[in-house]
Structure formats: structure tokens, C-alpha cells
Structure 1
Amino acid sequence: MAEEIEPMMLKYLAQVAGFAPAQAHAHLVSYRKIGLIEQDEETGHYRLGRYALDLGVTSMRTTDPMSLANDAVAELADRTALHVALVVWGSFGPTVVSVKESGSQLNMNTRPGTVYSMSGTASGRVFSAFLPEATVKATINLEKREKTDSGRVGVHRFMSRKELDHIREVGYATVDVPPMPGISAYAAPVFDHAGQMVMAITIIGQDHYLEGRAEEGFIPALIEAAGDLSSELGVRAGPLRQNTPSAPADPAGGQFMHYNYP
């Protein structure tokens, strides 16, 4: 029921649950008594009830997103032996809130509080692809007016509509010219229960170690970690990617606008 939008017929519900209809009905009677499910009086179809809503609300109130996110980052760092950064949307754009360092002797300028370029870093580009157009444009305009010693990591560069579409399609972002020579990064979006992007997970490593295993190992691990965290934050529709390259779906219900950033 949690995976369905519309109320379900007993026959179909029993089928997907792997029960005989009579057996499923016995469970539903019990669930109905405690308010976990409800039955539509006109159609006889079943849907989640008030008690299920109460459980969901309580879960959201007691869930600590940052604690879940930090656990996901630590697990991914251990799994990949890469540096992993957790990036959220701050006052000046993509902002690092935590970094789990691997055992390598990699020196990098990513620390909590670091602000990334919207177009010149993997983290910034994934935010550019999934945040609303107005928010992205305003932040890029701010970035373009900054002085070179602003402290923001990465240099502004042009992003085409095709590049943004591709990020939405594959579910992660990278950058051809990284801020630090010899260091590569990949970032994937994390969504909340409303389908809004709330943070990014970014893996960072030396080219000679990361690039050779990126496609087969590291990128799938990154996308899996971001997807699992999204599920823990309430996403139930599976990976949030656009339906077609020409009209990517907005998780909030609309459509992403296509735009170029000069």
C-alpha cells in the first residue's frame, strides 16, 4: 500500500503480497480495527488509514536527517576508500557540512564550511541540475560577481542544457576540469519525502585511483548510497530521474525548465 498512490482492490493487494484473497482479507480486518488501513465505502478498495499517517508523522519528527546522512557518508568512505563529503544548500550555495576522510594521504581543500562553485564542481553541478531554475540562476549570478579570492572552490564555467539534462538522466555529476589538478569528484543528489533535493553526497579521490574504477564500482556505490539515504528520508518512488531528456520530471510535481548559463 505504501508503494501505491491509489486505493487497492483486495484481489490485487493479495496478489502483490503473495497471499490468497481470504488470507489477505483476514489481515486487513485486523489492520482496519487498529486504524492502520481504511476501506472505501463505495468501491471497497483499501488504503492506508489514520494510524498509518500518525506513524509516518512520528517517524518524520523523530528522524535526524543529518545523523542518517553522516552514517551514509561514513559507510561509503569505508566501502570505497575515498574521501566523501556531505554537501547541503547554504546561504552562498553548495556548502560542505562534513567530510569523511579515507586512509589515503590525500591533501585537499575541502573542509566543513567550504562553498563550492555551482558550475565548476561536481557538487555544484548536481545542485544546478535538480534545484529550481530561479534559485540556481540567482546563485550563479552571485558567484559571477565575486572576487577571485572569495574562497569558493571551483571556477565558473558555461553549463549547457544538454549537460544538465545528462546529469538528471544518469543521476550524478562530475566536472571535466576539476578545481584541483589530479583530483576527481562525483556527486549524487539526495531527496526528501517531498521529492526535493536536500543534499549531495560527493566522492573525492586521486585520478589514478578513482577514474579506473569509477564506472564499474565507485559511481554505482555513490548512486546506491544516495538512493538509500533518500529512501530513509521518505522517498518511495525509486530513483528520481527525468522521464525523457527533453522534459525531465520535477519531483515536486512540475517540470524542470531548460536553461543555459553563460
Structure 2
Amino acid sequence: MTERTVKKTKEPRGVQSIDIGGHILEAFVAASGPIKLKDLSDLTGLAPGKLHPYLVSFCNMKLLERSDHGWYTLGPFALHLGLARLRGLNPYKETLKRVPELAEELGLMVSLAVWGPFGPTIIHIEERLDPIHFNIRVGGVYYLSMTASGHVFTAFLPKAVSAELVEKEFSDTEGDRRRYFQVDRGWFEATIEKTRARGYGMTRDMPTPGITAFAVPIFDHSGTIRLAVAAIGPNELTDDEGHERIVDCLTRFSQTLSQDLGLPNA
């Protein structure tokens, strides 16, 4: 056997003092309020004598502010940095970049929906390698009453935003279809409460028999739901064992992306 030398890719070398400074600023984000030097030392594991020069520099840059009583808080330049980051973010593009990896990890179809004039409107579908036959298309609109994405939007939008479309849907010609699935107002309202409490929506065999869907919300920095991300697949791939894995994966995706979009404590 020919022996080969495997070259390890080295991580680019950074500036240690900047890395330490970033660690200090992370502690301020975690603290979410004013903090004293001693407490900051406990949080970062850095001695007060080592911390102090960093704090002086950060105050000079207005990344931090120091009160007359010795409390440190994030300063106005930190706010400007955060706002610059938020202005440069596009929730739809950020989500689209991450969806292929999500679909591959889950092994399921993934759809993205935004709130439109007619309800949850599909803007992207990420097929898996083995496509499933499920009647959704880009530009289509999910039912509010009978889909996981519809449940998520109804649960997390202000009621005044969705109420008119909910009323319209419950009075339209799909009444027979809802009765087939035993979807009445009482069931719907209880399901929306459950969706809000657990943070995700789920439907099984509805509106298409043999298909299960899970959906999670994506929030922006203001806490407004911007998208619903749904994982869709045959029931046999989403059984009890698959259920937990899918929910964990989608929840992580939702929390990480929402946090990257500026949602506090996502």
C-alpha cells in the first residue's frame, strides 16, 4: 500500500486580542443589561486587571459606556453595528441559502411560504432526491385550517391580520372537505393554541391522505413572523421516531435563523 501524506488544512490565524475582545462583548450580550467589572470577570474568566484595558478601549470607541457608579453597558456604536447588520439582511434570501442543507438532513421535501393577500403563499419548494407526489406548487396558497404552515401563520400573526381570511375559508365551498377531516371551528382554535404553545404546526393525512407535514415560524428582529418552513413527507418517514428528529431539526433551524435575523433570545 502506498503511504500518502494527508495535509491538514490550518485555520487562518487571527489576532488574539480581538478574539478576547469578542469574548468580552459576547458576555455583554448574554448579560442583557448593565454589569460591573467583577461580574464581567466571573463571566469571562478574565482577571479584572486584564479586562480593564479592553473596557477602556471599548468605551473610547463607544462600543461600551461606563456609568459614574462603575456599571458597564453596550454603547451607541454597538447599536449602530446591530442596525447595519439588520439593514443588510433579507429574511427570504437568508432562508433560501439554508434550505437545501435542511432538506438533505431531513430527507424530506421542504417548502417556504410567506404571508400574502390570500394567505400562506408558497415561494420555494426544495425537492428531495426521491420526489413525493404532493399537489403543491410555487405560487400556491396553503389552507389556514388544514395545513401545518397555515396553522403556524394563524398562531403567530396578530389575530387581526388573519381573521378575515380565516372567516372566508370557513365559509367557502371547501366545507365538505373540512367535514371529511373533522375540521370545525372548535378543533381549529384548539389546534392553533397547541401550535402556539409548542412552537410548531403539524398535520397528518390532511389535506392529502398519506402525507405528514411539520412547519415552524421564522421571525425577524421585531418578533414578526416572516416565513413558515415546512417539512413534508410520507407518513412512514414521519412516524414516532422520525417525528422527534424532524421537530428537533426544524426547531434548531427556526431558532438559529431567527436569532441570526436579530430576534432576541431566539
TM-score range with shorter-chain normalisation? 0.7 to 0.9
Normalising by structure 1, we get a TM-score of 0.82
Question: Given the alignment of the two structures, is residue 67 of structure 1 paired with residue 87 of structure 2, yes or no?
Answer: no
Q: Residues 209 and 177 (structure 1 numbering): CA distance in 2 closer, same or farther, change over 3 Å?
A: closer
Deviation, 1:57, is 1.3
**Deviation at residue 92 of structure 1 after TM alignment:** 1.1
Q: 1:210 aligns with which of 238, 243, 253?
A: 238
2:169 paired residue number = 143
1:116 aligns with 2:142: yes
Partner of 2:57: 30
Cα deviation, residue 167, structure 1: 1.6
**How many Å apart are 1:187 and its aligned residue?**
0.4
1:77-130 per-residue CA deviation (whole Å, 9 max, x = no partner) reads 011110001111111111111111101131112221111111210000111111
- CA gap of 1:174–1:10, structure 2 versus 1, over 3 A, is same
Structure whose alpha-carbon radius of gyration is higher? 2
Distance 2:214 2:141 in 1: 16
Quote the Cα distance in structure 2 between the aligned partners of 1:199 and 1:233.
Answer: 12
Q: Segments of 4+ in structure 1 off by > 6 A?
A: none
Report matched runs for 1:1-262 at 5 Å: 1-41=28-68, 43-148=69-174, 157-158=184-185, 159=187, 161-238=189-266
* Percent of aligned pairs sharing the same letter: 34
Residue type at the aligned position of 2:62: G
Secondary structure of the equivalent of 1:175?
strand
Q: Is the contact between residue 145 and residue 151 of structure 2 (CA under 8 Å) also seen in structure 1?
A: yes
More helix by share: 2
SS of equivalent residue, structure 2 residue 163: helix
Q: Which amino acid aligns with 1:14?
A: S
Kindly state the Cα deviation for residue 160 of structure 1 after the two structures are TM-superposed: 5.0
Secondary structure of the residue that 1:202 maps to in structure 2?
strand
Q: Which amino acid aligns with 1:197?
A: I
**Cα distance, 1:166 vs. partner?**
2.2
| SS across alignment from 2:142 | coil
Q: Which amino acid aligns with 2:215?
A: A
> Which whole-Å CA distance do the structure 2 matches of 1:214 and 1:126 have between them?
20
Change (3 A) 1:28 1:167: same
Aligned-partner Cα distance in 1 for 2:155–2:261: 20
**Offset of 1:191 from its aligned partner?**
1.0
- Structure 2: 5+ residue stretches without partners: 1-27, 175-179
Equivalences, count: 233
Q: Is the 8 A contact 2:112 2:125 kept in 1?
A: yes
Counterpart secondary structure, 1:198: strand
Question: Partners of 2:184 and 2:203 in 1: how far apart?
Answer: 10
Q: How far apart in 2 are the matches of 1:18 and 1:162?
A: 48
Aligned 8 A contact 1:189 1:226 in 2:
yes
**1:30 alignment partner, SS class:** helix
After superposition, the C-alpha distances for 1:197-248 in whole angstroms (9 at most, x for unaligned) are 111110000111122533331111111111111011111313xxxxxxxxxx
One-letter code of the match for 1:170?
R
**Equivalent residues of 2:91, 2:220 under 8 A apart:** no
1-structure distance, mates of 2:112, 2:188:
26
Give the conservation status (yes or no) of the 8 Å contact 1:3–1:237.
no
Is the Cα contact below 8 Å between 2:204 and 2:211 reproduced in 1? no
State the TM-score, normalized to the length of structure 2.
0.81
Q: How far is the alpha carbon of 1:164 from its aligned partner?
A: 2.7
Tell me how large the CA RMSD over aligned residues is: 2.1
Are 2:204 and 2:210, in contact at CA under 8 Å, matched by a contact in 1?
A: no
